[in-house]
Structure 1
Amino acid sequence: MIDHFGINCADWERSKAFYDSVLGVLGYTRQLDYRVAIGYGRDGKPDFWIADMSAGEAAGPNREVHFAFRAADTDAVQAFYDAALAAGAESLHAPRLWPEYHPGYFGAFVRDPDGNNIEAVFHGAPPAG
């Protein structure tokens, strides 16, 4: 069900040190580091993300959380997006490939009624072209 999730951090340096330490003793390490967001996990798969609240989009009054739900295919991602909009969600990003994450990453992002960033993702989409 849950593919990955993330939180925003007010004290970026302190949060990086904290999560490096506490997740490290559990066997999790930095899998991806974008300077303003770090994904922790194992075996090349970041499951938990922290983001710097002072880095633009993450900043805001609600300290949103991000949850990504696994989808069976690209049609399921589209169905999630359509259902979310019909239920009153705000579109953040329409369904598309996100090659900057990894080849085959197909996702759609919406803002739920409480202001959280909710995504549906499928990891096996064919490349564009």
Structure 2
Amino acid sequence: MTNAVPFVHHFAVIASDFEASERIFTAALGALGVEALHRADGVAEYWRPEEDRLSFSLERARHDTSVTRRVHVAFAAEDRAGVDRFHAAAVSAGAVSRHAPRFWPEYRAYCAFLRDPDGNNIEALHKEGDD
């Protein structure tokens, strides 16, 4: 059974260095076909052009907001190549590699893990079978 209602509709991260984080997320998510389709006043909202839902936003920290730190966010990739592109693009844009792309049998997924400038654990994964 497939549910047409998404589990999570959108998620936001507040960045201490908006420009550095925007560079990383734009590169990494772009490798997965996710674009920054709205940018204004210290906010970048990312989603796939054909889907007006399931979005991720990056926001500049303001004097009355706390920075998001040590959260774990995982983005789905269509295939292993997408995970590889995600990792390479993010590292080129300034992210720190925590784990290079590889198969994780305990998750039955091919994953890569990164750290953004605020210490958030950013992942791309492609779910696979028990092979």
- Larger RCO (CA under 8 A, 6+ residues apart): 2
